[in-house]
A and B are shown apart, each in its own frame.
Chain A
Amino acid sequence: QQQVKQSPQSLIVQKGGISIINCAYENTAFDYFPWYQQFPGKGPALLIAIRPDVSEKKEGRFTISFNKSAKQFSLHIMDSQPGDSATYFCAASGRDTGRRALTFGSGTRLQVQP
């Protein structure tokens, strides 16, 4: 119930291309879905987040698409750049967890080739 499944495990994209990372969840009580970006040797940093009352949120080159009925959400990185090369984690939390801790996906290692 608490699991968040993320795919793919790794992704190679050419500069200027679109990177797409997908996540699926089971717990219908989840109501907050953030994406985190992590560079080597650093902690994850919040990139963008969405709540289930909207189907899409865009911030610059980063877009979250959310499908409530399918219990899936995805991160799209437009015009991918070498500087976007990092590990990306999706996450989710909900009121029923009590502690409001985030449940993280297993991560996607993105490599953008110049």
Chain B
Amino acid sequence: KQEVTQIPAALSVPEGENLVLNCSFTDSAIYNLQWFRQDPGKGLTSLLLIQSSQREQTSGRLNASLDKSSGRSTLYIAASQPGDSATYLCAALYAGGTSYGKLTFGQGTILTVHP
């Protein structure tokens, strides 16, 4: 069964701190790995997408890495700000059969950055 797990479930940090969110997936036959942000009562916003052939992607203060062999991805947020407070979701896109094209999501990490 294809599963995605995120640790920790919740994280609270002071403003300015660098932090790492973790994601693990059970099947290495992924097509890509995506990180999303969800604000309370809102939809999902795509942050970064890493293709299976890539090792990392960067956007501003965000850096996502992918290690297929160990089944792990990390999202690194530098110099965190209160505006970064949200739920961060990791999702794996699996290839093959009826899995082709659909995302499997982790449960998310609720991040709170306090001033």
| A and B associate in one complex | no
Show the binding face of B for A, using Cβ within 8 Å.
none
Show the binding face of A for B, using Cβ within 8 Å.
none
